[in-house]
Amino acid sequence: MTALRVALAQLPVRVGDMAGNAAAMAHAVSTAESLHADVVLTPEMAVCGYPVEDLLAEPEFVRAAMDATRQVARSTDRTVALLGAPWVTGCLPVAGGARPTGWMTDAQSRSLRNVAVVAQRGTVRGGHAKTLLPTYPVFDDARHFEAGARQQDLYQVQTPDGPVTFGVLVCEDVWSDELVQEMRRGGAQVVVVLNASPYHVGKQQLREATVAAAARNARVPIAYVNAVGGQDELVFDGGSFAVDGDGDVIARARSFETDLITVDLPVAPEVDPGRSWDVVDLGATHTRRCTLPAPPLTAPREVDDEVYTALVTGFRDYCTRVGLPKVVLGLSGGIDSALAATIAVDALGPDAVWGIGMPGPYSSDGSVTDARALTENLGIRFDVVPITDAHLEREQVLARLLTDRTGDTGHPVAWENLQARLRGTTLMTIANATGALVCTTGNRSESAVGYFTLYGDSCGTAPNPLGDLLKTTVTMKDGAVLPGVYGLAQWRNDRADAAGLVPPIPVSTITKPASAELAPGQQDSDSLPEYPVLDRLLLAFLEDHASAGELADTLVADGWDRQVAASTVNRVLTLVDRSEFKRRQVPIRIKISTLSFGRDRRMPLANHWSHATAEPRPGELQPTGSVPDVGVPGAP
Amino acid sequence: MTALRVALAQLPVRVGDMAGNAAAMAHAVSTAESLHADVVLTPEMAVCGYPVEDLLAEPEFVRAAMDATRQVARSTDRTVALLGAPWVTGCLPVAGGARPTGWMTDAQSRSLRNVAVVAQRGTVRGGHAKTLLPTYPVFDDARHFEAGARQQDLYQVQTPDGPVTFGVLVCEDVWSDELVQEMRRGGAQVVVVLNASPYHVGKQQLREATVAAAARNARVPIAYVNAVGGQDELVFDGGSFAVDGDGDVIARARSFETDLITVDLPVAPEVDPGRSWDVVDLGATHTRRCTLPAPPLTAPREVDDEVYTALVTGFRDYCTRVGLPKVVLGLSGGIDSALAATIAVDALGPDAVWGIGMPGPYSSDGSVTDARALTENLGIRFDVVPITDAHLEREQVLARLLTDRTGDTGHPVAWENLQARLRGTTLMTIANATGALVCTTGNRSESAVGYFTLYGDSCGTAPNPLGDLLKTTVTMKDGAVLPGVYGLAQWRNDRADAAGLVPPIPVSTITKPASAELAPGQQDSDSLPEYPVLDRLLLAFLEDHASAGELADTLVADGWDRQVAASTVNRVLTLVDRSEFKRRQVPIRIKISTLSFGRDRRMPLANHWSHATAEPRPGELQPTGSVPDVGVPGAP
């Protein structure tokens, strides 16, 4: 049976590093050449990284990316290289923000495309422009690119087994069954796809199921290469793979690591030439073939491992790429900061992480002892810098002013937020003085209901490793499990245990009730529903767009009183609506869910619509969208 | 000559307030009816506001918008109402973030359109779906909507003058000459356009020139209605207008205010029926017509007035719509906080603005006296809350810690930022206690080069009124003038003077050298080029995408030494690149420029590309994109 030897070069995303990316691509090309591959695939936009957003509006950036791609093309020999790059057709781009003539319509002024450049024997031989430009959750391709036609050229190579015709797609294209079938009917015996497909829980299974179905339906094998590594809030998880014409996965690369796998892919029969598309003849690749070992079929990770690795990867890549691979973080003795510190240590090593305990007037003794135990387990530096004196000074001065001017000291939450802000200021000062990043540690549940202090515990110049983790583990509608803070902490401890190492997170940190410790005896459950309830409501609201009524129904089905259920839901959704303005100013978080805060979910701030009542709030009387920063106990 | 009587209902944008918007639309319909208008136009998406972003992904939101639109439709009689609304064709939307099946391609799963609903005699008679979906600077229409076909229905009414066929477009559609010409050739004798077109300097002239050219080229009159009011960072400036078939403006509504104007628009001749499109016959409108006065032709404002009014409008609408129409702001005695306070007072009234002087260890005497003079001129409350003691306490504690642990006190900028953060914390506490918003006062020049302290002077829960204003006035490439902070301050003082009122901003505030006063004798010019130079470089870089070489050339042309020019440009662009992470966490700013920070300019944070050298920085060694928060003196 005729086979196409395809090398999948799973390369890291490094935005804007054309020289480094081109070197990695050239190295992959030469490796593939030495393995007698017919074709080598690099990820979508491999030469400049993805997403690069409005850098694509800058002529010099695009020119540099195209120059670097041509340079890789010059290094090609017999193996056909598919190089992911932005490519200008006609003239330089005026896409995105760069429209200097202003306000032209898209179709008239776009000339930039998202291309798989086809290179061989030292030159660019052609290319496939991405046809389907996603504009949903995290993607904005239509902002930057002109779409490619549905029917573009196919490519033929003479392999040692005989001629093979293949088609090329870019990422979103392969999610359309139809496009693959059209390409097969047009003459493709193999389809290869360049991707930059970011991680979320269950993504690899979704990718493989989708590509396998497309392969089965079109009776054509598909080779799928993905990027790897973190870029701002996204993590590319690799896991490149190939499926045969039955849709069976016959090769799979590692996840979250750079990799290069090569597979002999049995090709589909030639089609009736009457219906065929234009084919570019690339001539012979190699005349003989070395023998390959069986291609690797790396087993997927289990979900806790996968999520934890995504967080470590995203955190590490951000901090190292911005050139500041060390962090300072506040340790409260609680579960969130403990897990964040553990992730930071796994990402950057213990010498790069500095924990600061900042007890205040209402901190428990456990806050410092638990934090200290954690740092001893992790082997990181720990210092205690109380905020008590600074808090007392500001509280006295401001309480006097407010009493003089307004008759009382106002909303009590102001004085809780004050403590959090003095902690944020303390961390930022230490970080600025020492050239470190600050790691914030708020989880997705808190972020959703605004249970945090803007400019306080949300201070952070590194990505928030917990910002897309609910507090507790929740089962999703499709039955899959979405790990939460507690679950990952326990998993990490268990992993250490199993390896005969000290579990990093103290047991008391995991077992004690959650508390912000900003008022005497305060517990999270004073202000919020219990986390398992809150998290289930949040997930159904945020990801499934469940209405207030539907959410209340799920509680009633669990035995809740109808009225209590309705008021609980009302309270939660009102808090979510009212904290949009706070979420707009927090650090990026590393995406692991299907629909995270950030690029995935874009909301107006001034907004009369209430999710709690599914109707507009009347007039100016009941504010929504924005309230003073009364985050910590979620009031009023 | 046959005329179509068109009423342009220039209504305010109120996101999510379907009940309020529907009431305003119904009122406009009934007014138009009483004026015997044939057609009444409301703004694009008038029923739910625009942009509403991912609220469009929520079935209940869309359903409420459609229900409210149908309710307005029920109130129609003879006058044909064009109602801007999101509209589902087929089924409920899965656009934007709401794609529950996940990762479908856009074209397959979109069923939501941006529609001008055509209503008459109590029912919905048809609609035009926006054809061109902008995805550039501030717009993301392709994220949410499916595009309408290029050829949709035309509508015919029997006016007292005889039958008239008209075509309907939505916003971006009219920026395509071709679409207008196709519609004219298809049979339209008038084109009406529903818009939500946000303000920037020169926008009204651009709109009128574009629409006039389209009218002239197609020999067809065009009526253009715009929305009015602030929505987050955008301000809709109204200025609805009509042009005749020669492209002459024959009516213009007021800018920045709700308005309704009615005009008898002389229609173009009927076209050869052979080429005509489908026409929906709406029957008779009115059988007689009351006499209209000559339509208003409001003169455009001059540019300082226009920009100032945009800032006041955007600031006022945000604060009132979120239900917190009072602000606290820090007054340093400098020009920025003085102008911001003046805008806040013009927006919300003197009783709603509280100025706080927060002298620190390096503050000049003038900082308090100038601030006090300003507040007396403005008639607002002023209090002095020094940060000196709090600063001393934190400085001592942290300097001791750092010296113990690292041998020295680290980067000096940390101690400057500490002062700014204690001020931010102080303002936020006062605001939280009293239910006010905090107004930040940093200008666009500072924002560009990161000359501010994250979580310090950038703290703000109201929109930043100065965030899109350069420090100085700059002439743009097309010769138009872009007013800066100094220019607007002087204009506002002059306006007061001319009206016989006290100019609000003290002369010494305008004349003294700019200083952050965070170190002894510090001036902005120690760290940055003089503002007129800086601002010219920034504008050319940000809006015209000038390269480093081109920027240096402009300085050399002004007599600068080549090497000094190159190093100045290098320094400025490096600062811009390095402060992306800071700009990501600042409050929204009100857009007045063609390309502001915010929705207009979307940049990755981790980024190896350097604008200063137009090449990637090698490896991990030279960080870009993110550095510790060393903003204040812009170092290192």
For residues A267 and A311, state if they share a domain: no
Q: Which residue, among A585, A589, A617, A630, would best test binding to B if mutated, counting the most B CBs under 10 Å from its CB?
A: A585
Contact B432 A455 (CB under 8 A): no
Determine the Cα–Cα distance for residues B271 and B253; give it in Å rounded to an integer.
30
Separation in Å, CA A389 to CA A333, A386, A399, B109, B420: 21, 8, 15, 58, 19
Determine the Cα–Cα distance for residues A74 and A31; give it in Å rounded to an integer.
15
- With b for 16 or more beta-carbon neighbours within 10 A and e for fewer, the A35-50 pattern comes to bbbbbbbbbbbbbbbb
For residues B356 and B223, state if they share a domain: no
Residue B634 belongs to some domain of the structure: no
For residues B276 and B375, state if they share a domain: no
Residue A632 has pLDDT above 70, yes or no: no
Using the Cβ of B145 and the Cβ atoms of chain A, whether some distance falls under 8 Å is answered with no
pLDDT of res. B110: 54
Q: Is A130 a catalytic residue?
A: yes
For residues A173 and A320, state if they share a domain: no
Reference A166, options A179, A154, A151; nearest CA is A154
Determine the Cα–Cα distance for residues B226 and B229; give it in Å rounded to an integer.
10
Q: Which residue, among B52, B429, B627, would best test binding to A if mutated, counting the most A CBs under 10 Å from its CB?
A: B429
Size of interface A-B (CB pairs under 8 A): 424
Length of chain A: 636
Task: Using an 8 Å CB-CB cutoff, list chain A residues near B596.
Answer: none
Residue A631 belongs to some domain of the structure: no
Determine the Cα–Cα distance for residues B566 and B570; give it in Å rounded to an integer.
6
Residue B331 annotated as lining a ligand binding site: yes
Contact B136 A586 (CB under 8 A): no
d(CA B265, nearest CA chain A) in Å: 26
Residue B622 belongs to some domain of the structure: no
Lowest mean pLDDT among A2-6, A144-148, A348-352, B273-277: B273-277
Whether B434 contacts B327, CB under 8 Å: no
Quick: pLDDT tens for A273-287.
777 899 999 999 999
Residue where one domain finishes, among candidates A300, A315, A342: A300
Using the Cβ of B206 and the Cβ atoms of chain A, whether some distance falls under 8 Å is answered with yes
For residues B286 and B362, state if they share a domain: no
Residue B186 belongs to some domain of the structure: yes
pLDDT of res. B272: 80
Tell me the two tokens of residue B520.
Answer: 């002894």
For residues B313 and B288, state if they share a domain: no
**A559: alpha, beta or left, given left = phi > 0 and alpha = psi -120 to 50?**
left
Residue A617 has pLDDT above 80, yes or no: no
Residue A28 belongs to some domain of the structure: yes
Q: What is the mean pLDDT of residues A454-481?
A: 95
Using the Cβ of B568 and the Cβ atoms of chain A, whether some distance falls under 8 Å is answered with no
Task: Map residue B566 onto helix, strand or coil.
Answer: helix
For residues B210 and B89, state if they share a domain: yes
Of A54, A586, A624, the CB nearest to B601: A54
Q: Within 13 Å, how many C-alpha atoms sit on residue A223's CB side?
A: 33
Residue where one domain finishes, among candidates A244, A276, A300: A300
Task: Using an 8 Å CB-CB cutoff, list chain B residues near A410.
Answer: 432-435
For residues A311 and A420, state if they share a domain: yes
Quick: pLDDT tens for A25-82.
999 999 999 999 999 999 999 999 999 999 998 888 999 999 999 999 999 999 999 9
Q: What is the ipTM of this complex?
A: 0.93
Quick: pLDDT tens for A366-407.
899 999 999 999 999 999 999 999 999 999 999 999 999 999
For residues B292 and B350, state if they share a domain: no
Quick: pLDDT tens for A428-451.
999 999 999 999 999 999 999 999
Residues in Cβ contact with A394 at an 8 Å cutoff, skipping those fewer than 6 apart? A418, A422, B390, B422, B425, B426, B429
Q: What is the mean pLDDT of residues A316-342?
A: 97
Residue A482 annotated as lining a ligand binding site: no
Using the Cβ of A581 and the Cβ atoms of chain B, whether some distance falls under 8 Å is answered with yes
Residue A348 belongs to some domain of the structure: yes
Of A381, A433, A628, the CB nearest to B431: A628
For residues A341 and A271, state if they share a domain: no
pLDDT of res. B218: 97
Residue B417 annotated as lining a ligand binding site: yes
Of A57, A611, A630, the CB nearest to B545: A57
Q: Which ranges of chain B have pLDDT less than 70?
A: 89-110, 615-636
For residues B457 and B542, state if they share a domain: yes
Contact A61 B609 (CB under 8 A): yes
Name the band, by pLDDT with cuts 50, 70 and 90, for residue A13.
confident
Of A325, A429, A603, the CB nearest to B53: A603
Whether A94 contacts A57, CB under 8 Å: yes
Strands (E), A121-258: 123-129, 154-159, 162-170, 190-194, 222-225, 228-231, 234-237, 241-243, 249-252
pLDDT of res. B616: 62
Q: Please state the separation of Cα A336 from the chain's center in Å.
A: 20
CATH of the domain at B510: 3.40.50.620
For residues B48 and B141, state if they share a domain: yes
Using the Cβ of B407 and the Cβ atoms of chain A, whether some distance falls under 8 Å is answered with no
Residue B333 annotated as lining a ligand binding site: yes
Task: Using an 8 Å CB-CB cutoff, list chain B residues near A316.
Answer: none
Token pair 């087993």 is found at A299
CA dihedral over A465, A470, A474, A475, signed as positive or negative: negative
What phi, psi does B220 have (nearest 5°)? -145, 135
Name the band, by pLDDT with cuts 50, 70 and 90, for residue A558.
very high
Chain B segment 467-496 residues within 8 A of A by beta carbon are none
Residue B424 annotated as lining a ligand binding site: no
Quick: pLDDT tens for A501-556.
999 999 999 999 999 999 998 988 888 999 999 999 999 999 988 999 999 999 99
Task: Using an 8 Å CB-CB cutoff, list chain A residues near B51.
Answer: 604
Residue B226 belongs to some domain of the structure: yes
Reference B572, options B604, B606, B530; nearest CA is B530
Chain A segment 1-40 residues within 8 A of B by beta carbon are 14-20
Strands (E), B258-308: 259-266, 279-284
Residue A417 annotated as lining a ligand binding site: yes
Reported as type and span, the H/E element at residue B439 is none
Secondary structure letter of residue B96 according to DSSP: G
Mean pLDDT taken over chain A: 91
Which listed residue (B33, B146, B171, B306) is catalytic?
B171
Residue range of the domain that includes A48 = 3-300
Determine the Cα–Cα distance for residues A214 and A177; give it in Å rounded to an integer.
5
Q: Which residue, among A429, A477, A622, would best test binding to B if mutated, counting the most B CBs under 10 Å from its CB?
A: A429
Of A413, A454, A545, the CB nearest to B58: A545
Tally of domains within chain B: 2
Of A14, A432, A608, the CB nearest to B15: A608
Task: Using an 8 Å CB-CB cutoff, list chain B residues near A581.
Answer: 322, 461
Q: Is B171 a catalytic residue?
A: yes
| % pLDDT > 90, chain A | 83
Q: Is A620 a catalytic residue?
A: no
d(CA B286, nearest CA chain A) in Å: 35
Residue A116 has pLDDT above 90, yes or no: yes
Separation in Å, CA A606 to CA A448, A575, A577, A620, B17: 17, 15, 10, 11, 11
Quick: pLDDT tens for A63-77.
999 999 999 999 999
CATH of the domain at B25: 3.60.110.10
Pairing of strands B437-438, B474-475: unpaired
Contact A143 B133 (CB under 8 A): no
Q: What angle do CA B402, B408, B411 make, to 5 degrees?
A: 85
Chain B segment 606-635 residues within 8 A of A by beta carbon are 606-611, 614-630
Reference B405, options A451, A508, A384; nearest CA is A384
Residue B104 belongs to some domain of the structure: no
How many Cβ atoms are within 10 Å of A397's Cβ, its own excluded? 17
d(CA B274, nearest CA chain A) in Å: 29
Of B142, B172, B318, the CB nearest to A606: B318
Whether A217 contacts A300, CB under 8 Å: no
Residue where one domain finishes, among candidates B273, B300, B327: B300
Task: Using an 8 Å CB-CB cutoff, list chain A residues near B105.
Answer: 132, 134, 172, 175-176
Residue A107 has pLDDT above 60, yes or no: no
Q: Within 13 Å, how many C-alpha atoms sit on residue B251's CB side?
A: 28
